[in-house]
Amino acid sequence: MDAGDGLSPAGGLIQRGQEGRALRAPVLRGDQAFGVNLRLGGLVPWSSVDYPGRQAAVLFVTGCPWRCPYCHNSHLWAGEAGLSWAAVRGFLETRVGLLDAVVVSGGEPLAQATAVHAALVEVRTLGFATALHTAGVSPRRLQTLLGDLDWVGLDVKGPFSRYDAITAREGSGAAARASVEAVLRSAKPHELRTTVHPELLSDDDLLTMLRELVAMGARSVTLKNFRPTGCPDARLAATYRPWLKPELATELRAIMPGVVLPDG
């Protein structure tokens, strides 16, 4: 996932509070309990930032078909499981009345859409609101989940023409465009967000992206600074530089008044 998501460290659970904590979680058996065969890499037991306005637990599923070079959870790409759904559900049962919601993040949840859907149904039976962090790798799979979601955080990598270069996967831009359309069409509460590294996205790229999103009906996108922690590309981590200049901020706001810009 893009910068802004975290993961529990090996051997324990920690609260949300720092970026790029994408370490391996301990293996707990019973991963097909309750009929949910979900491969999970970790759990953050409490977060106040992954679902706006809600206190949430965050589940990190494994597997992702895209290879974005700034991903700080790249160890989840391969799909190795570290937590069982039985253990996670048992934990969630102890948080009924204490947490508002459960967020499914990754990795890429749409890589396990059937199992994620089953998990969302169970989460809702416990009384939690549900949220998804996704890059929209499969609009068809995303569409099947929208009915059981209360909020969606959708990563937008850049202008759709730049997707193949950023994700290292042909056709990813078309999938992302259709996913953005599906989320906007659903009228579900959502956040579109973009991680910015100036070597991957130029000023013109950002302006083009906002024009594309506005034309699709989007009113806001949150632009986030690249963070080097956990980045698998050492060159990107070493070459990041501040990118938001006052002139660019003015141009971005002229295109999309609701754009959310980083502080620096």
Backbone angles phi, psi at 223, to 5 degrees: -95, 130
Q: Cα(136)–Cα(145) distance, rounded to whole angstroms?
A: 12
pLDDT along the chain (264 residues), means of 10: 45 37 37 71 94 96 94 84 90 97 96 96 97 98 98 98 97 98 97 97 98 98 92 91 96 98 88
Q: What's the whole-model pTM score? A: 0.87
Strand order in the sheet with 40-47: 40-47, 56-61, 101-105, 129-134, 151-155, 190-196, 222-225
Cβ neighbours, 10 Å, residue 217? 10
Q: Provide the pLDDT for residue 109.
A: 97
Handedness of CA 2, 123, 80, 7 (dihedral sign): positive
Residue reference for tokens 């901020």: 249
Which residue type, as a one-letter code, is found at position 157?
K
Domains with residue ranges and CATH for the chain: 33-255 (3.20.20.70)
pLDDT recorded at residue 254: 98
**CA–CA separation, 144 vs 203, rounded Å?**
35
Query: What residues contact 10, with CB distance under 8 A and at least 6 apart?
Result: 23, 24, 25, 26
Tokens of 226: 């690249």
CA–CA distance, 72 with 19 (Å, rounded to integer)? 9
Supply the pLDDT for residue 9: 34
Structure token pair of residue 19: 């970026």
Interatomic CA distance for residues 46 and 3, integer angstroms: 18
Q: Tell me, what's the pLDDT at 8?
A: 35
pLDDT at 25 (0 to 100): 38
pLDDT confidence of residue 180 = 98
Q: Where are the alpha helices (H) located in the chain, listed in sequence order?
A: 85-93, 113-125, 139-146, 163-167, 172-186, 203-216, 234-239, 246-255
pLDDT value at position 230? 81
Per-residue model confidence (pLDDT) at position 149: 98
